[in-house]
Structure 1
């Protein structure tokens, strides 16, 4: 299997850093990504054989923009607070769909697609969890947003009463934490096994 394209990976970096300030935002964006990309893949598989090769890009842009816009409208109705927290990162899902289509992602085996979506989700949720723990000292803060509940007094599980390191919830803190996680991963991979 060849290496994935650089653009495909770099587009995933923006929501990975920007939308993982809390566990709820990361989990919600990943769920939205899975829904939109799944419906997009089904739609493009149905349309691909019926279109001229020159029309594939235009069709994928229109379909991705339509699906992402519908998902955003549904998200606003479901939970306006979560939608405001997710910001512009939900719109990047449309761009990601188009790039994945052009890279041939939807023609790959379903296991490869599932692996990439699962890895992206694990990174999103893991980074969101770590950043919320380190930055706010809470776990599951604003969880009712994903459940469309308006219970404003629930603050999640508070682990430290004085909060945490505010830098961890900001984008620079996300870059720093991701860099440390990548360095730890590379150090683990290079460590000689002592069997």
Structure 2
């Protein structure tokens, strides 16, 4: 149980691939212009991480150390191809919107990094769970970026949700404000850099405040112990 708790903390916060490791920035910045696109790529990456981690962990003892990286890439490419074909069949409009960034998951540093750092050294279930948590952390950053950029740039939220969830999801679209022209800085890649920088700064500020509180509590406890011992 402690191992799984550590995996959750690492994936969602302490070692988040988007905010801490800064991996996979190309799709992170390029496809997060809307919440729908961000969720589509985030879900695909999460499935790839979980599936490849499980397969690599299952066969880790049978993969020669000298050729492990090419084998990892072959497994990742096979899983990505399967997910790409599923998206082509069931979410074709979203597949067209994401374009080249679906097959580019093969070269995403997060996937190969977790395969090398975790899946190749741990059992199947923890490896799958690690992939899910890392994918969830990456998807959360993508979704936050997409939501902020869509709100600032277009004044909407969940625009095009039907591309991901089906025709019924058109009711999810929220129009927060109307504007004669879009805020292009938020929609274009420079806006993604600025928003991501703000998210990283916010996380660092939260971490700094948490450490300051812990140090303050520790100093109070030490002062109490000193006071009791002297009395």
Q: CA deviation at 1:105?
A: 5.1
Q: Equivalents in 1 of 2:25, 2:85: separation in Å?
A: 24
Unpaired segments ≥5 residues, structure 1: none
Instruction: Tell whether 2:106 aligns with 1:94.
Output: yes
Greater CA radius of gyration, 1 or 2? Answer: 2
Kindly provide the CA deviation profile for residues 136-189 of structure 1, in whole angstroms up to 9, marking residues without a partner as x.
Answer: 1111100000124499x8792211121642221111110011112223333444
Corresponding position of 2:165: 147
Native 8 Å contact 2:41 2:102 kept in 1: yes
Instruction: Tell whether 2:173 aligns with 1:159.
Output: no
Q: Equivalents in 1 of 2:43, 2:113: separation in Å?
A: 19
Q: Equivalents in 1 of 2:25, 2:57: separation in Å?
A: 26
Q: Equivalents in 2 of 1:93, 1:190: separation in Å?
A: 33
Unpaired segments ≥5 residues, structure 2: 1-5, 218-231
Q: Equivalents in 1 of 2:131, 2:38: separation in Å?
A: 20
Corresponding position of 2:46: 34
Greater helix content: 2
RMSD: 3.2
Give matches, 1:90-129, under 5 Å: 90-96=102-108, 97-104=111-118, 107=121, 109=126, 113-129=131-147
Q: CA deviation at 1:190?
A: 4.1
CA 1:154–1:81: 2 relative to 1, 3 Å: farther
> How many pairs does the alignment contain?
192
Q: Equivalents in 1 of 2:151, 2:23: separation in Å?
A: 25
TM-score with structure 1 setting the length: 0.82
Native 8 Å contact 1:17 1:171 kept in 2: yes
Q: Equivalents in 1 of 2:167, 2:120: separation in Å?
A: 35
Corresponding position of 1:172: 190
Q: Equivalents in 1 of 2:131, 2:48: separation in Å?
A: 14
TM-score with structure 2 setting the length: 0.70
